[in-house]
Amino acid sequence: MSCRGKDSVGEDVVKPYTPTTLDSDVGYFELVIKMYPQGRMSHHFRELQEGDYLAVKGPKGRFKYQPNQVKAFGMLAGGTGITPMFQVARAIMENSKDKTNVSLIYANVTFEDILLKEELDNLAKSFPGRFKVYYVLNQVLTPVKLSVCFLVSLSCSFRTIIFTFIHLTANEA
């Protein structure tokens, strides 16, 4: 669906978003939105207060899913591209007449960037053998963990240098 708002200089901005709720969730929809510090629509979402209205248009999109149209789906998603995959995967799993299997590879830069992780893990737990998720990361360690590793290795190298020095001095004596 399209959402309309105003950016930081008051200009109209329209951006597409994919609800994570289904047609069976009547009366409301949910969006998962990643906000960017300089993002135009992100600015609008940041300014929204509880009780405010949001102009939306939809639903839109050309992909029409029919239950059991294929035996299995292989899905590949990165970052916020997870929202349409999650929506389709949920629709498949929550339809008891649908026997389609889904394997999803979900790529992100860091562990902290993974969206909907709990929901994806719950789907995998609830439908073992039918829904599989594989997370792929560019940076496995967070900066904090990296700096701890760096300090540990630094301290190990330092201890090795001291040990080598003592060892050499002892041998010379």
CA 39 distance to own-chain centroid: 18
Nearest CB to ligand FAD, comparing residues 33 and 105: 33
CB 4 within 8 A of CB 12: yes
| Residue 16 is labelled as binding a ligand | yes
Q: Does 120 bind ligand FAD (CB under 6 A)?
A: no
| Residue 41 is labelled as binding a ligand | yes
Nearest CB to ligand FAD, comparing residues 61 and 67: 61
CB 84 within 8 A of CB 113: no
Q: What is the DSSP code (8-state) at residue 37?
A: T
Residue 30 to residue 85: CA distance in whole angstroms: 15
| Residue 59 is labelled as binding a ligand | no
Q: How far is CA 89 from CA 63, 67, 108, in A?
A: 14, 11, 19
| Contact stretch for ligand FAD (CB under 6 A) within 26-34, 100-108, 129-137, 164-172 | 26-34
CB of residue 120 to ligand FAD, shortest distance in Å? 14
Nearest CB to ligand FAD, comparing residues 19 and 93: 19
| Residue 88 is labelled as binding a ligand | no
Q: Does 75 bind ligand FAD (CB under 6 A)?
A: no
